[in-house]
Amino acid sequence: MAKDGKSKHSQSENLPTRKIGYARVSTADQNPDMQIAALKAYGVPEELIFVDRASGGSMNRPMFIRALKTAQHEGTEFVVWKLDRMGRTLEGIIDVLKLLEGRGVKFFSLTERVDMTTPMGKAMLQMMAVVAELERNLIIERTKAGIARARERGERGGRPIAMTPARVEVADTMLRLGKRGEEVWEAIKPLSDVKVSRAAYFAWQKLWDAGEVKDLPGDDEV
């Protein structure tokens, strides 16, 4: 199983095709053995299985970032035990899938049996994008309704938070991959109808650089 990702990975760098596996366990499920066994049974070499021990909402996923960095070459297959191992938000998952697709990297989920290179897989990705759009619109509507109710009670309504969970997840991933500034800001702008100004993003990035960005909020905090 990959730990420091250097000596073992260097032996596989010149292979034209390879399988890279990613597993994640949360505080409620600390044993990754089942996921690792499933990945190995699919043909993923143990030295190319990356494991994080963190919740889906946590941004502290160093092995996920390392797995993405390793999956750079066309023909590589990125394999997960379950689709939700990729992140806590549907938008975040879709963006990672598009990132892999842009590199020519095949994606496969063992539980859902999703192969994004097939017509069925591409149709599923389109459906996921539609669902993500619906979820985003529902969040916006709930936010507007909450502000309206607060105003009816005479309370002052605040502005919606620009760095939404989906934006935070994608920005965090890009920053860990070495992307900076304008490139990240432009990438996250379409992820929500709530406007995120250049100044707002750069202020957030400054906090990220200082290590002051907290984990993503839970569902009850969104």
Could you tell me the CA-to-CA distances from 153 to 146, 148, 150, 157, 221 in Å, in that order? 11, 9, 5, 10, 22
Angle in degrees, CA 34, 43, 62, rounded to 5: 60
**Of the residues 7, 10, 26, 55, which is catalytic?**
26
What per-residue string of b and e applies to 88-115 under the rule 16 or more CB within 10 Å gives b? Answer: bbbbbbbbbbebbeebebbbbbbeeebb
Is 10 among the residues known to form the active site? no
Catalytic residues: 26
